[in-house]
Structure 1
Amino acid sequence: MTALGQIARGLRTFVSDIAEGFFEITHNGFALIGLAVAFAVITLTARPDLRQMGEEKLRDWLQARQVMLEGLPIDLVASERATATNPQDLPKQQAAVAYWLSRKYRVAPEPISALVAEAYDIGQRTKLDPTLILAIVAIESGFNPFAQSAVGAQGLMQVMTRVHNDKYQSFGGNLAAFDPVTNLRVGAKVLQECISRAGSLEVGLRFYVGAANMEDDGGYAGKVMAEHARLQQVASGRSVPVPPLERAPAPQQAAVPVAAPTPPTAPLGDNAEKVAVLSRTSS
């Protein structure tokens, strides 16, 4: 064999040895990776706490990447927290009320639809007309869930949070006053108690606004009843023009300093301390 043939044979042997060695290395490497994956799966199956920790780390990393790339965090449950629903998913009667309120109070129909649906659910449980509940919301806050009066009435139905704090404990505390659905439920409960003690709707409304012992409620009950009548017509399918926004004037006793609110001169019943004793500035 010539020298050139020996060199060629040596090169072939060298290349063959390298290829065989590379195959052995990669084969063993894949085997090791497979064993590592299998071990990790077994470990995570046996230790759910480690699996949860790993998932949290991965989620945090993905969120950090999202913020870095787009400047927005990942929050896939944000839509679940929103007080909103598609008005087209409501029954015809409720949808009509939602669209009418949306136009009049210049708020989006989706959150209004969620409140209308909740008001109808509350109405079934409490035997209150849902359009009455919505009329009070309209007059009290104009559907502003973050409204607060000078005397501390808060939320959609302007409930006196410090007076009715016991009612908010089942919802996690007083900050729930600014959750629209919670405020609606608590406000309806307060209204139900006021009507029960007053014996009639109109007097119950005077109790609700804290004007039970005043000569004049500043037109509050009339405003609520007028809005209630309009909403009843809308719910019945009638075409009701959207009137300009109106608010009832404050009762005469609203001039009492906020720092020293004065309770009614006559007791309102067992729940007297839980009834708002001053008018709301949003009334």
Structure 2
Amino acid sequence: MTATGKLAAALRVMANTLTNVFLKTTHNSFALLGLAVACLAIMLAARPDLRAQGEVQLRSWLEARQSVAPEADDALDIEEPSERVLATDPQGLPKEQARVAYWLSKKYNVAPEPLSLLVSEAYEIGSKTKLDPTLILAIMAIESSFNPFAQSPVGAQGLMQVMTRVHTDKYESVGGHLAAFDPVTNLRVGVQVLQECIRRAGSLEGGLRYYVGAANIESDGGYAAKVMAEHFRLRQVAAGRSTRTAPSAAGTLTTKAVTPAAPAPAIPAAASTDKVALLSAL
């Protein structure tokens, strides 16, 4: 036999040997695996607590795998709901706040539950900032009629009609400029702006002129007077005094005829432009 023939024979023997070893190893592995599965099944049948624990861990693993699985291009991306409460029961508020919430709900045709949350927030912020909460609510009423998605032609947004692009720094810690349409966030930022305006003007009435952007023009279009008039009415309501849209003692609204709120007075065009410049300097 030639050297080439001997080499080929040796290679065949080696291949046969490796094949036999692989088959035996595989056979033994499957046998061991089957034995392990059988033992595991017997143990789980005898220990329900271990079976339950295993099911919990398996479910957790499957849910984790599902959460990282790629979604279809047309799948709807639904985010988790915000942890912040969006409404509250007005009957759970202190009597003064409940009176204000019901009165505003009636006058501005807003559901009392989300409005009650704003009333409660205004009272809490007012106690911290030393601002009358009914003043804060009066500004919201005149600025947006409690529409959290309101936007003016010059870019004032939300309940307090804050110039979002001017006060971007105030929204950085709460999610960015889109937070302007979150009612509570807009309320808090609006109060910060109002405080700055009052400090700069040195008086409440002057601060309101700064707030609406009319500090450097002859007239604010009656804005400050309208805010103060609504502020006065809300103070009357909070004190339990009779008003045209006052709630009854039982917490339900009276059936007296209500005169629709007059539209906000037109602010001169110069005031809108001036608001941007004034608030940029705050």
Q: Give the drift of 1:41.
A: 2.5
- RMSD between aligned residues: 3.4
Q: Contact 1:104 / 1:245 at 8 angstroms: preserved in 2?
A: yes
Equivalent position of 2:260 in the other structure: 244
Structure 1 residue 172: deviation in Å?
Answer: 1.1
Aligned to 1:174: 177
Q: CA deviation at 1:31?
A: 2.8
Whether the 8 Å CA contact 1:223–1:247 is kept in 2: the answer is: no
Label 1:87 to 1:262 Cα distance change in 2 as closer, same or farther (>3 A): closer
- 2: CA distance between counterparts of 1:79 and 1:167? 20
Distance in 2 (alpha carbons) for counterparts of 1:240 and 1:56: 58
**How is 1:122-271 mapped onto 2 (pairs within 5 angstroms)?**
122-242=125-245, 243-254=259-270, 261=273
Specify the SS of the correspondent of 1:212: coil
Q: Are residue 41 (structure 1) and residue 53 (structure 2) matched?
A: yes
**Which of structures 1 and 2 has the bigger CA Rg?**
2
> 2:42 maps to which residue?
31
User: How many residues are paired up?
Assistant: 223
Q: Which runs of 5+ in 2 are unaligned?
A: 1-37, 69-77, 246-258
Q: Distance in 2 between matches of 1:140 and 1:263?
A: 13
Q: With structure 1 as the length reference, what TM-score do the two structures score?
A: 0.69
User: How many angstroms apart in 1 are the aligned matches of 2:152 and 2:128?
Assistant: 29
Q: Distance in 1 between matches of 2:193 and 2:271?
A: 24
Give the conservation status (yes or no) of the 8 Å contact 1:213–1:264. Answer: no
Cα distance, 1:263–1:204 mapped onto 2, change above 3 Å: closer
Q: What displacement does 1:104 show?
A: 0.3
Sort the Cα spacing of 1:53 and 1:115 in 2 relative to 1 into closer, same or farther, 3 A.
farther
| 1:144 counterpart letter in structure 2 | N
Residues 116-145 of structure 1: CA distance to partner in whole angstroms, max 9, x if unpaired?
000001001111100000000000000000
Deviation at 1:40, TM superposition (A): 7.3
| Alpha-carbon distance in structure 1 between the residues aligned to 2:82 and 2:192 | 28
Identity %: 64
Matched, 1:273 2:280: yes
Deviations 1:167-209 (A, max 9, x none): 0111111111000000000001100110111111111000000
Residues 164, 274 of structure 1: 8 Å contact kept:
no
Q: What is the CA–CA distance in structure 1 between the aligned matches of 2:270 and 2:98, rounded to whole Å?
A: 36
C-alpha separation in 2, matches of 1:251 and 1:240: 28
Between the aligned partners of 1:274 and 1:174, the Cα distance in structure 2 is 19
Letter in 2 for 1:237: G
Which sections of structure 1, spanning at least 5 residues, go unmatched? 1-26, 61-73, 276-283
Q: CA deviation at 1:251?
A: 2.4
